[in-house]
Amino acid sequence: MPLEPARLTLGPDGTPFSEAYGDVYHSTSGGPDQARHVFLAGNDLPARWQGRERFVILETGFGLGLNFLATWAAWKDDPRRCGRLHFVSVEKHPFSAADLAIAHAAWPEFAPLAAELRQHWPFLTPGGHRLHLDGGRVVLTLAFGDAADVLRRLDAGVEAFYLDGFSPARNPDLWSPQLFRALARLAVPGATLATWSVAGAVREALAGVEFDLEKRPGFAGKRQMLVGRYRSRKPATHALPSDRRAIVIGAGVAGATVAHRLAARGWQVEVLERADRPGTGASGNIAGVLRPLPSIDDNRLSRLTRAGFLATRNLLRELGPAVRWQECGVLHLARDTSHEDIQRRTVAALQAPSDYVQFLEREEAAARLGWPVGNGGWWFPTGGWVQPPSLCQAALAAFPGRIRTRFACPVAAIEPTADGWRAIGTGGETLAAAPVLIMASGAEATRFSQFAWLPQRAARGQVTHIPERGTPPLDTVVCGLGYATPAVDGLRIAGASFQVGDDEPGERAAEHGDNLARLNLLLPGFADGIDSETLRGRVGFRPASPDRLPMVGPVPRPAPAAELAGRHGLAWEEGLYCAQGYGARGIVWSVLMAELLASRVDGDPLPLETDLVEAVAPARFLKAGRRISPRFSEAS
């Protein structure tokens, strides 16, 4: 379902008001004071987060961000604050950054925090958006969508709940027994809640999902408010590991970003790479394309590439000039008029913001490119190109005290130990040992016995380097059946071939010719006169999965099909994870998948909905009754 953004309306006294629900966003007696009285004090904060490594709060309606800003401010002012504050919030109708700026002006006490929030404010697109604020110590996970749908697909261990929606009479869906059951699923033992509502139906529904309730004095003119504590003793599943050390095998974009996201959480990470520097394998191209792949039904691939596109952009901005990239825009041209119609209808169906995606008619596309084209296409104004080796280098260098890299260090095998895993060198020596090991070695992964079952194939890809002077100017990325970039260091990158099961490492003039032919299909006549025999390029081997999705998560232990058929679950290799199968989308997948994997290893709230987590889990290929498909195809 497309998002319907909220529109800011101010009542006669200046209080923000929702015309859709006929209710105010906060008390007319003072929003910040209400947030502190009801939600912070109601959850016994800041006392409960003091001295903790991490604390997790979930809010049922983000609105203008008032409760979040009040919580962030209280956290900053607390000398005994927790090391990391996670704040998860659901919002069906998010505001634009411009409307937030107007509303935030009423709370000058939060001005610096509100400005940082707006600086990181995401595109108003459905799904999860993770914002790393205050140097990464405050993590805001926004889930844009209907709360009843979103909450049942969250994975988090929540310690405090802010129940703050429009009144039960105005918005009953946000106070339903079904929604409270979803909250109870997320609650850890002893979790607390607070809300300004003391409606009988609310109390009855919360009591029915094992919350012990108590009325307390309300705020301003409201006589009472409600607090509660979760009494269930269910096992905790999101505990922080006591020994936060990890080995990462591989220093391409998959391994480098995993190391970065673990180190950002305080982990000590040892990265082992067989090459003499990072980003040499499938991550070694001069430039790669950064853009999502929409679909008219907003399917899993579309949702994942959207989330990945946004996550990569966020990290690129965080790493700054250490990464070479350019937000030059990406134009994805339609193959023919039928495809053009699908693209046009997709943009109309998604109703996405224009700074995320637009459809350009043929004449508009030609004007944008400065070259005649046969069809229109999707225009991603904030897409562009990224140099993968520079991303790898910057990610690994960001935490020098926590990431140790060892290059020219081939790993011959891995094996479990009494308390984790060890990586073994070619001479049988132990290269590294830690409780957690993450395989991110790309096409090499399946030579390790624990990953021999993984349905991953190496796909040979050859790109072509075209001297800038050999073609007309091009200042944006253009793609479709192939792609071409603006010039980087005097070379335009065109590509790419995709040959599964072809292990020839040398360049082929015929494939350079194919890349030129693809370029001429996109931009008729653009590559005329270029002799493919004179061109050079690069060959890489991309780890491809049968369904074109990554393989990221804990690693199951394979078993015979007959044995699996009788199981309800799988056996797991304790402490073993992988970040594999990125195919031709390493730039789009890497940061999001690294955040997902690091969150899972550390017990954090996950940045993706559970159906998407399952869609990329390696275990999907070992589920009972599931046959591994032998089909491998180029991602379009």
Cis peptide before 46 (omega within 30 of 0): yes
Which residues, other chains included, contact 134 with Cβ-Cβ below 8 Å and sequence gap of 6+?
A: 72, 76, 116
CATH 3.30.420.40 fits 245-281+389-454+546-621, yes or no: no
Q: Would you say residue 264 has pLDDT above 60?
A: yes
User: Over the chain, what is the mean pLDDT?
Assistant: 92
Sheet holding 413-417, edge to edge: 413-417, 420-424, 430-434
Paired residues of 225 in beta bridges = 216
CATH 3.30.9.10 domain position(s) in the chain: 328-383+457-540
Tokens 């015929």 found at: 510
Share of the chain above pLDDT 90, in %: 83
Predicted local confidence at residue 634, as pLDDT: 45
**Do residues 43 and 228 touch, judged by C-beta distance below 8 A?**
no
Tell me the per-residue pLDDT of 66-124, one tens digit each, with 9 for 90 and over: 999 999 999 999 999 999 999 999 999 999 999 999 999 999 999 999 999 999 999 99
Q: Would you say residue 564 has pLDDT above 70?
A: no
Q: Is 321 exposed, middle or buried (0-12, 13-18, 19+ CB in 10 A)?
A: exposed
**Mean pLDDT on 246-266:** 98
Show the tokens assigned to 207: 């009591």
Residue 488 DSSP label: B
pTM: 0.94
Predicted local confidence at residue 29, as pLDDT: 63
Predicted local confidence at residue 23, as pLDDT: 66
Per DSSP, helices labelled H in 475-574 are 509-522, 561-565
**Do residues 532 and 516 touch, judged by C-beta distance below 8 A?**
yes
Q: Is 105 exposed, middle or buried (0-12, 13-18, 19+ CB in 10 A)?
A: exposed
Q: Residue 625 — left, alpha, or beta (φ > 0 → left; ψ -120 to 50 → alpha)?
A: left
Tell me the per-residue pLDDT of 141-154, one tens digit each, with 9 for 90 and over: 999 999 999 999 99
Which SS3 state, helix, strand or coil, does residue 197 take? coil
Count CA within 13 A, CB hemisphere, residue 378.
27
Tell me the per-residue pLDDT of 24-48, one tens digit each, with 9 for 90 and over: 666 666 689 999 999 999 999 999 9
**Do residues 9 and 85 touch, judged by C-beta distance below 8 A?**
no
End-to-end CA distance of the chain: 24
Paired residues of 217 in beta bridges = 224
Q: Which architecture characterizes domain 9-230 according to CATH?
A: 3-Layer(aba) Sandwich (3.40)
**Mean pLDDT on 291-302:** 96
Show the tokens assigned to 93: 């109708």
Predicted local confidence at residue 625, as pLDDT: 45
**Do residues 394 and 323 touch, judged by C-beta distance below 8 A?**
yes
**Do residues 54 and 84 touch, judged by C-beta distance below 8 A?**
yes
Per DSSP, helices labelled H in 95-136 are 97-104, 111-119
Q: Would you say residue 249 has pLDDT above 70?
A: yes
Residue type, 404: R
Predicted local confidence at residue 2, as pLDDT: 84
Phi, psi of 228, rounded to the nearest 5 degrees: -155, 165
Tell me the per-residue pLDDT of 350-390, one tens digit each, with 9 for 90 and over: 999 999 999 999 999 999 999 999 999 999 999 999 999 99
Tell me the per-residue pLDDT of 43-65, one tens digit each, with 9 for 90 and over: 999 999 999 999 999 999 999 99
Predicted local confidence at residue 633, as pLDDT: 47
**Mean pLDDT on 202-223:** 93
Q: Would you say residue 636 has pLDDT above 80?
A: no
Classify domain 328-383+457-540 at the CATH topology level. Answer: D-Amino Acid Oxidase; Chain A, domain 2 (3.30.9)
CATH 3.40.50.150 domain position(s) in the chain: 9-230
- State how far the Cα of 464 lies from the Cα of 466, in Å rounded to an integer: 6
Tokens 């594999």 found at: 580
- State how far the Cα of 239 lies from the Cα of 241, in Å rounded to an integer: 6
**Do residues 322 and 135 touch, judged by C-beta distance below 8 A?**
no
Helix axes 111-119, 97-104, angle to 10 degrees: 180
CATH 3.50.50.60 domain position(s) in the chain: 245-281+389-454+546-621
Q: Would you say residue 224 has pLDDT above 60?
A: yes
Q: Would you say residue 304 has pLDDT above 60?
A: yes
Predicted local confidence at residue 172, as pLDDT: 80
**Do residues 44 and 97 touch, judged by C-beta distance below 8 A?**
no
Predicted local confidence at residue 26, as pLDDT: 66
Show the tokens assigned to 164: 């703050």
Predicted local confidence at residue 631, as pLDDT: 46
